[in-house]
Amino acid sequence: MPFFKQDGIDIHYKEHGNPNGFPVLLIAPGGMKSTMDAWDRMPWDPRERLSDYRVIAMDQRNAGRSSGPIPIDGWLEYTADQLALLEYLRVDQFHVVGMCIGGPYIAGLIFAARERVRSAVMMQPIGLDENRQAFFDMFNGWMSGIRSLHPETSVADWNAFRDEMFGGEFLFNASEELVKTIETPILLLHGADLYHPASISQRLDALLPNVTSVVQWKTGDALAAADATIQAWLSSQGS
């Protein structure tokens, strides 16, 4: 399995599909445990379904087989990891497909490098709706599994990192006002549970200036239709 190494950070990644196709970066679900094998458990797996594209999957820092210093600055450092991997792979323009925590990661990539993000598929994005404690609990569970590997990180730093990740509003790394500035074409597949509230998808649908929405998509005919929509939509965004 290949790794990208830089400044004490090891990012585990794997490419799928057509090596000569237009690049698609994948941001896997799983919260702080965003790893490429999480796609195995999802109703739609872009590693299989986007075989005409150069599909780049990755484990986020300190998830799966990726490792590195604790990113106290949170979202910004994860975005830097993602863009550094693309630089290493000599990718300029790209599509991005992200599920769950992939929603705010997509927003972060657009804010940091909007001229490079051709389009995005945002699947059941996380967001704040009377569920902050659930995200803090998820973070604490992940932290307990890796804390012994980072004796250099103080309790205050862990708390600051948690608050940076999940102490914000709306998408946690983007307010409603910031989301209104995203002009990148986005295909939004709605969520409807504790971590991926329907209200967040509905607000994104209302706020994003260039959005196409799919509400039902996880099973049966709806899943088949959503797959066809994703394929046609990405193709329409060019390569």
For the segment 25-58, what is each residue's pLDDT rounded down to a tens digit?
999 999 999 999 999 999 999 999 999 999 999 9
Enumerate residues 6+ apart whose C-beta is below 8 A from 144.
Answer: none
What CA–CA distance (Å, rounded) separates 93 from 24? 9
Q: For 52-101, where are the alpha helices, taking DSSP H only?
A: 75-88
In this structure, what token pair is assigned to residue 44? 């739609």
CATH 3.40.50.1820 fits 3-233, yes or no: yes
pLDDT in tens, 99-152: 999 999 999 999 999 999 999 999 999 999 999 999 999 999 999 999 999 999
pLDDT class for 156, splitting at 50, 70, 90?
very high
pLDDT in tens, 160-204: 999 999 999 999 999 999 999 999 999 999 999 999 999 999 999
What pairs with residue 3 in β-bridges?
12
C-alpha Rg value of the chain to the nearest Å: 17
pTM: 0.97
* Residue boundaries of the structural domains of the chain: 3-233
What CA–CA distance (Å, rounded) separates 159 from 170? 20
What CA–CA distance (Å, rounded) separates 97 from 124? 11
What CA–CA distance (Å, rounded) separates 134 from 95? 30
Residue carrying the six token digits 């490419």: 15
